[in-house]
């Protein structure tokens, strides 16, 4: 080893010991006859000292020539610092250097490699290997590592077997776009990279591996944002001979174990909520329960008073922001303009203040008497000091708009505390959802999700009303995992394909191997997949999963560090029997 200790290891107990450290020069402070060098490695920072009189002149000159990010080895004696630094673990000692070797000089880095850097996102992604030297970035990957180890520990303790599934698979038409890989030995044919190991984990259940898991790379060719990457990691799991409650209990246990072991937090009770209630009271299927502010429907108390915007609406609905009655007119006007943005799409915003002295004032006083506004307040359970915010319109659209407003108010009022964690199981999702573009139903989750047995007759009469044996785990308004009880017999799977618009030939071509497997004694089974990157981001208090991926892509799906994707040589294309023809979109 080129070092006896790491740069985060030495303490007062090591005083007078001869040591050798190796690492990167964080900074140099040169006071002429006295030079301090902060030496950094993955484990921390240790101060080196070179002092005129007690340090060889050549060594002093060598120290003076050091630059940021030089890789060096330094040997010397551990001494107690006269001016201690209680902000760093090694702040009570320093190394009086007797020998210094430059292992590799370095160019001046394109940005400062410290917690507070001057590098923008794109620049740091281009030099990601330098960005990874920063403590704040490295700590995120250390968190990821810890969560991965604790996941494996828990799953092994529950008798799960980790099984790797293929990366080169068959393309399927459901879900997001596939990334495809040409086959040289089978000209004109392509593999796909897996969006998930779904069919393989079901086949493992048919094979008798009753408890499977895998921490696995998945690939989806979709538009990117902060919580999406073209390649991402799942904790993928499947169990046989179980019902929905068995799965919820098992994987609630996993999440509680991660919170306990990694963050020292007792997650406590995990609430269950139906999809229908989530949409009715929060306007989306992943409600943030760190704060209340449930939707209240006002049709009965707001309609019929001559206010056409309400009278002609399918739904009048609002939220009560506790303690926000003191919002200024300017603040409310800003909220109104915010909900009218194209991204939200509301026509306007009606408000009513319940002032601290008990008065009720609204933006529609022309149409509503104080008694009417009191009926609003009673419906909301409002108290003096509260602000009521109301939207109206088409029920589906207005719930979505109000959901955005609720989250905005939660943010503005400081109710979305990153140190608080509120988990929720959302259950009883619709099995199918209508796609206006294709004019047919699509599987809300995937075509292998089983319908509630009692709802199967509705497939013929009211497909949109069929509930699925599906469930999502939501934490702080983020979906971190989802799964379902699967179909495990050929007849039901064939019925599902028929209602999804597959012909018998298409179903056989795409999934014939799975349906045939069901005829060889498939057990009842179900599973779940957790977005591992998202879990890491929630644990680390970040909005973006990119911070927890060593070498992420940018919003265009590019790796700007290695300049990928890129063109390939004509000779490679020829081997693959591919001709490139770019067309303008």
What would the two tokens of residue 70 be?
Answer: 């030089």
**CA-based nearest residue to 255, from 531, 43, 443, 38:** 531
Q: Is 229 labelled as part of a ligand binding site?
A: yes
Ligand-binding annotation for 156, yes or no, is no
Please state the length of the chain.
Answer: 585
For 363-384, give the DSSP string. Answer: TTTTT--HHHHHHHHHHHT--T
Closest listed residue to residue 24, CA positions, set 3, 9, 51, 45:
45
The Cα-based distances of 6 to 140, 302, 462, 554 in angstroms read: 20, 69, 66, 34
Distance CA 240, CA 220 (A): 27
Q: In the beta sheet, which residues pair with residue 430?
A: 467
Is 525 assigned to a binding site?
Answer: no
| 113 and 134 Cβ atoms separated by less than 8 Å | yes
Helices within 174-268 (DSSP H only): 198-206, 244-258
Q: Give the tokens for residue 76.
A: 């010397």
How is residue 67 annotated by DSSP?
-
The 3-state DSSP class for residue 71 equals strand
Is 174 annotated as a binding-site member?
yes
Q: Compute the half-sphere exposure of residue 511: CA atoms within 13 Å on the CB side of its CA.
A: 24
The reply to whether 546 sits in an annotated binding site is: no
318 in a labelled binding site: no
Is 479 annotated to bind a ligand? Reply is yes
Does 234 count as an annotated binding residue? no
Does residue 565 have a cis bond before it (omega within 30 degrees)? yes
Phi, psi of 36 (to 5 degrees): -110, 140
Q: Is 486 annotated as a binding residue?
A: yes
- Here the tokens at position 211 are 């408890």
- Is 532 marked within a binding site? yes
Binding residues for ATP: 220-222, 229, 479, 531-534
Binding residues: 174, 220-222, 229, 445, 479, 486, 531-534
Binding residues for L-aspartate: 174, 220, 445, 486
């Amino acid at each position: 080893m080129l070092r006896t200790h790491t740069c985060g290891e030495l303490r007062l107990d090591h005083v007078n010991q001869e040591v050798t450290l190796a690492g990167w020069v964080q900074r140099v402070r040169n006071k002429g006859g006295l030079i301090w060098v902060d030496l950094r490695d993955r484990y921390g920072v240790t101060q080196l000292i070179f002092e005129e009189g007690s340090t060889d002149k050549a060594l002093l000159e060598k120290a003076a020539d050091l630059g940021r990010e030089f890789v060096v080895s330094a040997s010397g004696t551990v001494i107690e610092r006269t001016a201690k630094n209680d902000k760093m673990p090694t702040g009570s000692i320093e190394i009086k250097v007797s020998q210094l070797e430059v292992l590799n000089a370095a160019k001046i880095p394109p940005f400062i490699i410290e917690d507070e850097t001057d590098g923008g996102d794109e620049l740091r992604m281009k030099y990601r290997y330098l960005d990874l030297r920063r403590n704040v970035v490295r700590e995120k990957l250390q968190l990821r590592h810890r969560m991965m180890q604790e996941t494996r520990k828990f799953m092994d303790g529950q008798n799960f077997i980790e099984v790797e599934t293929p990366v080169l698979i068959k393309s399927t038409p459901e879900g997001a776009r596939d990334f495809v890989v040409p086959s040289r030995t089978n000209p004109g044919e392509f593999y796909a990279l897996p969006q998930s190991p779904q069919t393989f984990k079901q086949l493992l259940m048919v094979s008798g591996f009753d408890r499977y898991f895998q921490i696995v790379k998945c690939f989806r060719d979709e538009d990117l944002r902060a919580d999406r990457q073209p390649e991402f990691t799942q904790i993928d799991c499947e169990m046989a001979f179980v019902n929905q409650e068995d799965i919820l209990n098992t994987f609630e246990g996993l999440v509680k174990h991660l919170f306990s072991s990694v963050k020292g937090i007792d997650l406590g009770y995990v609430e269950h909520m139906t999809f229908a209630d989530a949409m009715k009271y929060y306007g989306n299927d992943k409600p943030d329960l760190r704060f209340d502010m449930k939707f209240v429907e006002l049709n009965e108390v707001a309609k019929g008073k001559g206010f056409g915007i309400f009278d002609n609406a399918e739904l009048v609905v609002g939220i009560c922001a506790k303690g926000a009655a003191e919002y200024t007119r300017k603040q409310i006007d800003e909220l109104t303009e915010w909900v009218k943005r194209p991204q939200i799409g509301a026509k306007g915003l009606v408000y009513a203040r319940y002032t601290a002295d008990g008065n009720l004032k609204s933006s529609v006083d022309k149409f509503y008497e104080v008694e009417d506004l009191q009926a609003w307040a009673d419906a909301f359970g409002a108290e003096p000091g509260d602000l009521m915010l109301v939207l109206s319109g088409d029920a589906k659209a207005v719930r979505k708009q109000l959901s955005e407003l609720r989250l905005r108010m939660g943010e503005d009022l400081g109710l979305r505390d990153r140190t608080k964690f509120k988990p929720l199981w959302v259950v009883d999702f619709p099995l199918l959802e209508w796609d206006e573009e294709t004019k047919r139903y699509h599987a809300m989750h995937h075509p292998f999700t089983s319908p509630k047995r009692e709802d199967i007759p509705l497939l013929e009469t009211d497909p949109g009303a069929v509930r699925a044996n599906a469930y999502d785990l939501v934490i702080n308004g983020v979906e971190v995992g989802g799964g379902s009880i699967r179909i495990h017999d050929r007849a039901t799977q064939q019925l599902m394909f028929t209602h999804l618009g597959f012909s018998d030939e298409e179903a056989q071509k795409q999934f014939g191997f799975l349906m045939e497997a069901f005829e060889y004694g498939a057990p009842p089974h179900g599973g779940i997949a957790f977005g591992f990157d998202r879990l890491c981001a929630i644990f680390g208090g970040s909005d973006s999963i990119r911070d927890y991926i060593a070498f992420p892509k940018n919003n265009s799906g590019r790796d700007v560090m290695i300049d990928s994707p890129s063109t390939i040589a004509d000779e490679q294309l020829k081997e693959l029997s591919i001709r490139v023809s770019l067309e303008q979109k």
